[in-house]
Amino acid sequence: MDLAYVCEWEKWPKSTHCPSVPLACAWSCRNLIAFTTDLRSDDQDLTRMIHILDTEHPWDVHSINSEHSEAITCLEWDQSGSRLLSADADGQIKCWSMADHLANSWESHVGSLVEGDPIVALSWLHNGVKLALHVEKSGASSFGEKFSRVKFSPSLTLFGGKPMEGWIAVTVSGLVTVSLLKPSGQVLTSTESLCRLRGRAALADIAFTGGGNIVVATADGSSASPVQFYKVCVSVVSEKCRIDTEILPSLFMRCTTDLNRRDRLPAITHLKFLARDMSEQVLLCASSQTSSVVECWSLRKEGLPVNNIFQQLSPAVGDKQPMILKWRILSATNDLDRVSAVALPKLPISLTNTDLKVASDTQFYPGLGLALAFHDGSVHIVHRLSLQTMAVFYSSAAPRSVDEPAIKRPRTTGPAIHFKAMQLSWTSLALVGIDSHGRLSMLRISPSMGHSLDVGLALRHLLFLLEYCMVTGYDWWDILLHVQPGMVQSLVEKLHEEYTRQKAELQQVLSTRILAMKASLCKLSPCTVTRVCDYHAKLFLIAISSTLKSLLRPHVLNTPDKSPGDRLTEICAKITDVDIDKVMINLKTEEFVLDMNTLQALQQLLQWVGDFVLYLLASLPNQGSPLRPGHSFLRDGTSLGMLRELMVVIRIWGLLKPSCLPVYTATSDTQDSMSLLFRLLTKLWICCRDEGPTSEPDEALVDECCLLPSQLLIPTLDWLPVSDGLVSRLQPKQPLRLHFGKTPALPGSATTLQLDGLIRAPGHPKTDHLRRLHLGAHPTEECKACTSVIEH
């Protein structure tokens, strides 16, 4: 493990962010991190704050005044990463959701309350979606073989089997409360005692079974008391939420049976199921003021021995041995330094003996370890079952500031800074921790866990995790932390190769996701950075095409099975005429009729399409250089066909409202710019379609495109969003020190400098070549020579 960056709060004159007690932290599948602080003003008033940040831009934090009256005890993301639950020590639960899909705009309209009863455990109800990773099949061609759907029932279903949304919480007095979100927006809430004899639940956790039941584990905080388990069933009866509970077998920690340890480890400080959907395995930690012991337990079915007397009286009993559930200890640690926080992996790796052997044989380590933070400031990754140490991080090295030189700093004395809350990323390749000073630290966890892996094997593991993110829709930022510039080319090629092996239906679903993934990978290497422009442009083109086609409506309701958008694609593919009007007359133009205000509102999108077509055609004479943005479009028949379809749509809409047409600056008033561009675009599309992506356009087409700058003014296009992220600037063993709310002056890398220097408008091929020379370091004389040629 190594430290990637640290982000801390600046001290303000009248207020200070201090870590809340307890401190809550959660990491979503979109790589959004939520954590809590208390904002303390000069008059000692406390405001309970929830902060949400993107791991790529940690300084750009969005802070929410939660309006919780007491300390926030739990934060929990839903499986889509778009909603967040917060619960406090007064029994109030709030559901926060994104406003307009913006990560910096959150609102809370629903919630529940168990007045005066602190919440100690909180979870969303399970939606029945569970995947299994088959590491041994990482070389299979189908994604369905690598990632299979596990039969898993939702906690509660609506009519037709659709999972019902809601949450479950456990209070300190031993109550379980369930809130159900109906499609109408109404919230059904019910509260029930976990058992008839209520007891204190200082610690609790929640897990789910494949049959749709919920398992709750509780402990009163004393290591001399048993850890209790309960089965909870939720149902809706007569429009009311009903909760049924049942007691399950309990356990005593092994360390309490040792008379020498019983008094030295008086408290249970951590109680966690190993996974939300794995109720058969639990992690326990007993601690004193200075030390801790961690134990891993498993629930198993065991045969109940029957006395011979009963076997003789009833032979049927002897034939079929009765089975009972019993907790058995799997592993335990020796005395450790006091544990301050625990983080569990979310990667769905099965933990049977067979699967663990497969993982060992394939040397696939992500997801096998959990994180333990200690009061001495260290963090250990230990095996989920054996609890053997796999990796260690010591926080002795202070991170460098992005604005200060690397100088030696004097060592400080005093109590060690340690993590009070931790979370592992969804692929277990990164770890975030909030320490006792309220600072956020991001740690990279090597996929090899310190083992020596072959380069090909390391690439295969990263590719496997990228495919997992592509299938699930999870964000892959934490994987990019471990991609070296030399790996990018191979990863992009292998990712595309695996994508093309899938069925056409799946390729259509994953088409935009793989483009975004390729773009983020190519940003990491100077050799592939120019491709980023094309991938972003393709994403934007697909978005525009989908939006414009969705506006088309059939003229009559009882239309055949094909939509107007599908018919447009079919007709444009069939008719290869270079005259746009001849293509247009084959379409049912009544399907393209829109409101005049809507058409005018689309003008900027239509202008982008027109400018983009002009840009591509003007760059055709220089198409042999892969260093130029737009290079891949000139050989992509699918994208060229999409542009051709949009040109036809724009032509039809221009007849309805001429002011919505793209505006070109032409040298001749009599020239039909749309017809000219469509004719050239069709010729290029036919060339790519008939001869393949390796084909070269004929010289006549190239000559016509060479004349475009003298006929039309070539537009300037903004290819890229602002390149201000961290992942391409992070250096091994050189952590950055950042501040919340303050945009840093990040050190530039070769990749980011090249991104900033990309040409944004096409010009003459020779001029373009000279401008690209400026991406490198040139002597002053050569720069002056280039400038004089450009001006000439």
One domain for residues 558 and 692: yes
Same domain, 671 and 589: yes
**Residue 786 or 540, more confident:** 540
Q: Is 498 within the bounds of a domain?
A: yes
Residue 439 lies in a domain: no
494 lies in which domain range? 455-524
| Whether residues 519 and 540 fall in one domain | no
Looking at the domain assignment, is residue 264 inside a domain?
no
Q: Determine how many CB atoms are found less than 10 A away from the CB of residue 479.
A: 28
- Please indicate, yes or no, if residue 145 is contained in any of the structural domains: no
Query: pTM for the whole thing?
Result: 0.88
Residues 475 and 596 in one domain: no
Examine the domain organization and report whether 584 and 703 are in the same domain: yes
Q: Point out which residues pair with 337 in neighbouring strands.
A: 291
Question: Alpha-carbon distance 147 to 129, whole Å?
Answer: 12
Whole-number mean pLDDT of the chain?
Answer: 85
Residue 204 belongs to a domain: no
Band of residue 338 on the pLDDT scale cut at 50, 70, 90: very high
Answer whether residue 786 shows pLDDT above 60.
no
Span 472-527, pLDDT tens digits? 999 999 999 999 999 999 999 999 999 999 999 999 999 999 999 999 999 998 88
C-alpha distances (whole Å) from 26 to each of 50, 51, 423, 443, 613 are: 11, 10, 6, 15, 45
DSSP letters, 202-227, are SEEEEEE-TTS-EEEEEE-SBTTSPE
Residue 370 in any domain: the answer is: no
**CA dist., res. 537 & res. 515, Å (int):** 10
**Domains identified in the chain, total number:** 2
* Model confidence pLDDT, tens digit, residues 96-148: 999 888 888 999 999 999 999 999 999 999 999 999 888 888 888 899 999 99
Q: What is the four-CA torsion angle of 164, 165, 169, 175, rounded to 10 degrees?
A: -30
Give the tens place of pLDDT for each residue, 264-304: 889 999 999 999 999 999 999 999 999 999 999 999 988 88
Of 681, 701, 726, which closes a domain? 726
CA distance 80 to 692: 40
The answer for residues whose C-beta is within 8 angstroms of residue 63's C-beta and 6 or more apart is 49, 50, 51
The verdict on 676 and 699 lying in the same domain is yes
Choose the weakest-confidence range: 441-455, 617-631, 713-727, 762-776. Answer: 762-776
- Asked if residue 379 is part of any domain, the answer here is no
Question: What digits encode the pLDDT tens for the residues 5-25?
Answer: 999 998 766 567 777 778 999
Domain boundary among 726, 752, 775: 726
| Domain contains 299 | no
